[in-house]
Amino acid sequence: MAKNILELTDTNFDAEVLKSEQPTLVDFWATWCAPCRAIAPAIEQLADEYAGRAKVGKLDIDHHQRYAQEFGVRSIPTVLVFKGGKVVGSMIGADSKAKAKLAELLDKAI
């Protein structure tokens, strides 16, 4: 995983995301998901660009299902932006404008 991306798990999600003082972008993904791999470079770029202002993490839903279920993730990739423990933005699926859409969601949360 890229240096500025948090590897999220069912164990650390609460502390790293829900109790975070910084807005946090969470990519719910799986290794077998081609659209997830397609947006991965955009997620990595955002992690670098927003370092110090927002957190960026990835949660592999095959290994950590608790929070995917809790937040109603039905298809992947699903990207949620959290602030103050609440979802303040979301994007489902992948497209060529994913980075711009996600940057806009982060900007609104900061």
Whether 46 contacts 106, CB under 8 Å = yes
35: pLDDT strictly greater than 70:
yes
Whether 27 contacts 77, CB under 8 Å = yes
pLDDT of residue 56: 98
Confidence band of 3 (pLDDT split at 50, 70, 90) = confident
pTM of the model: 0.96
In this prediction, residues 46-73 reach a mean pLDDT of 97
Q: Give dist(CA 87, CA 90) in Å, integer.
A: 8
Q: Which domain holds residue 10?
A: 5-109
Query: How many domains does the chain divide into?
Result: 1
In this prediction, residues 24-32 reach a mean pLDDT of 98
Neighbour tally for 93: CB within 10 Å = 13
Question: Which pair of tokens denotes residue 88?
Answer: 């303040």
Instruction: Supply the residues annotated as catalytic.
Output: 33, 36
Beta bridge partners of 57: 6, 26
Domain at 68, CATH number: 3.40.30.10
